[in-house]
A and B are shown apart, each in its own frame.
Chain A
Amino acid sequence: MTPTLALFWAFSAVAVGSALLCITRKSPVASALWLVVTLFQIAALFVILDAQFIAVLQVIVYAGAIMVLFLFVIMLLNLGRAGPSDIKGPVGLAVATLLAGAVGLQLFILVRASPSHDLILPAGTLAGAEQTQGMVGLVARPLFGEYLVPFEITSVLLLAAIVGAVVLAKRQL
């Protein structure tokens, strides 16, 4: 086992463990903080998978902005202290485990399928492009070229989200 692979499994183990803690903690604040741990571990996995720019985005946007929004709302609603558990009773738990197990089983069958050989790029294509364009350029060039229209539509989506959030959260317009 190479050191990189060992690191990969270490980060994965922490990610899965903290995800498990995130869905089982009673207090929403504890859940949110464990989710932040998971997000950081996934950012580390992105670095191992040669997506450094996406890893930085993950830390800034997800762990930084989105989770702060979650914590803000939790604090605003004063949900910090752990009340009665909101985890479902034995029947609900059994049904949920069964359904999640079925989904998981299907995913693990899918994982075994590998992409078609015609689609796989020759080894070293991305590394070569990274050498000439840099890590950010590699993502930015297609984003402002091939994917320009979806990118512009994203800005409209974000505007709609801002307007929607203000309209919904304001007591009186």
Chain B
Amino acid sequence: MILLGPALFVSALIFTLGVAGVLIRRNAIVIFMCVELMLNAVNLTFVALAQSLGIGGQIFVFFVMAVAAAEAAVGLAIVLAVYRHRATLNLQRINLLKG
């Protein structure tokens, strides 16, 4: 069923919630999860537009998922390394790149 308008509306709402989450939280892992929320909102847009503009949109969702998986693996490894070093995940207190 073609629901372009409603799908884009929901996707904009979820993306906005993701942006709000990144801005209001201080915990690095929760900020990561909010980024995942934004990626999902974008996936919803791709799938909604794929219905009227061709299957390429669904292929791009596939690539977005691959990039999200890679990002989660590397990002969480960085979180682990930082936690081992500083014993906190509060981004307000992690403000130096040097160790």
Q: Which residues of A contact B (CB under 8 A)?
A: 2, 4-5, 8-9, 12, 15-16, 19-20, 22-23, 28, 31-32, 35, 38-39, 42, 45-46, 48-51, 53-54, 57-58, 61-62, 65-66, 69-70, 73-74, 76-77, 79, 86-88, 92-93, 95-97, 99-101, 103-104, 107-108, 110-111, 114-115, 119-121, 125-126, 129, 138-139, 142-143, 147, 150, 154, 157-158, 160-162, 164-169, 171
Q: Contact partner of B72 among A70, A108, A150, A160, CB < 8 A?
A: A70
Whole-angstrom distance between the Cβ of A54 and the nearest chain B Cβ? 5
Q: With an 8 A cutoff between CB atoms, is B4 at the interface?
A: yes
Interface residue SS majority, chain A: helix
Q: Are B80 and A168 in contact (CB under 8 A)?
A: yes
Residues of A with C-beta under 8 A to B73: 69, 161-162, 164-165
Interface residue SS majority, chain B: helix
Q: Are B74 and A161 in contact (CB under 8 A)?
A: yes
Q: A23-B24, A107-B12, A154-B66 are in contact. Are A99 and B90 (CB under 8 A)?
A: no
Residues of A with C-beta under 8 A to B32: 70
Q: Are B44 and A45 in contact (CB under 8 A)?
A: yes
